[in-house]
Amino acid sequence: MQDSTDPLNISRAEAIALLQYYAAAGVTEALSDAPVDRYALAPKPPQNAVPSAAPEPARTPPAGRAASPAAGTPKTIPLEQDASAGIARDIAARCQNLDELREALAAYDGCALKFTAKNLVFSDGNPEARIMLVGEAPGRDEDIQGRPFVGVSGQLLDRMLAAIGLDRTKVYIANVLPWRPPGNRTPTPAEQAVCMPFIERQIELVDPAVLVFLGGVSAKQMLNTPEGIMKLRGRWTSYRIGSRDVPALPVFHPAYLLRQPAQKRFAWRDFLSLKQRIENLP
Ligand code: URA
């Protein structure tokens, strides 16, 4: 039945199909009754903003780490993307402490994700902690609250930490990306490349004794490896900060564990290994 007051002028069945499409596309909230064409309203991203839909799956090798070309990675990095990551690197390098880094990120317009996110999600926990956890990117709840891991996967993470005697006063938490990708889609290589210098600097400034990479995106990106989390998890490796090699442990992402509870036994094993490592810290 058509409703003449309906601005879209569509049938009930069409409206239901539209809602189902939105849900499948990851639309999680209705902001107002009438649609708004934000492309028409939005100020044009500045010239150094990297588009969300990068044309090529390139990655910029993080400074100080060996570049091991992943399968399918183009041999050359598009100049524009390389330049954007270079600008980000210069900005991040100038920050002398975490407050400056947060302010620099808040003022940084070079990542298109900033224009669709509600909040910058910089960190949570204790910046003096010896253990630093690095996740992938904020989800809906984190975007709303401006803090990492506050949704259901964050609650599971808190329980996993508690199981080995840790809580957020004893760890510092950040993400590879400080802005939520729309609909929680996987961040593009271009978005990852421009955000990389910031998380690298954040790790440098926190200077943890132990790093934990939560999930495949974080582990692959931070370790610059094409290997997947199935192979990486539970295997201690190291992450270079300046002239120091920091022990680093990739583990399953809590969101994955919520979908695949049977894998929790491996996560438990990995967290016990983490517990043992931190007990033996000098
Ligand atoms: N998943 C992440 O990787 N990070 C968050 O902050 C929340 C969910």
74: which residues sit within 8 A by CB, 6+ positions away? 56, 57, 58
**Is the predicted pLDDT of residue 143 greater than 60, yes or no?**
yes
Mean pLDDT score of the chain: 85
CB-based pocket (< 6 A), ligand 1: 135-139, 142, 148-149, 153-154, 175, 214, 255
Say which DSSP state 123 is in. Answer: -
User: Between 235 and 83, where is the model more confident?
Assistant: 235
Nearest residue (by CA) to ligand 1, atom 6, is 148
Cα 54 to ligand 1 centre (Å) = 22
Q: Ligand 1 pocket check: which of 28, 132, 149, 191 to mutate, most ligand atoms within 8 Å of Cβ?
A: 149
Q: Residue 8's pLDDT is what?
A: 67
Q: What is the DSSP string of 19-66?
A: HHHHHHTT------SS---HHHHSPPPPTTPBPSS-SS---PPPTTS-
Identify which of 194, 87, 179, 88 has the alpha carbon closest to the alpha carbon of residue 136. Answer: 179
Say which DSSP state 7 is in. Answer: T
Cα 5 to ligand 1 centre (Å) = 41
Cα 36 to ligand 1 centre (Å) = 28
**Is the predicted pLDDT of residue 68 greater than 50, yes or no?**
no
Cα 138 to ligand 1 centre (Å) = 4
Provide the CA 213 distance to its chain's centre, in angstroms: 11
**Is the predicted pLDDT of residue 36 greater than 90, yes or no?**
no
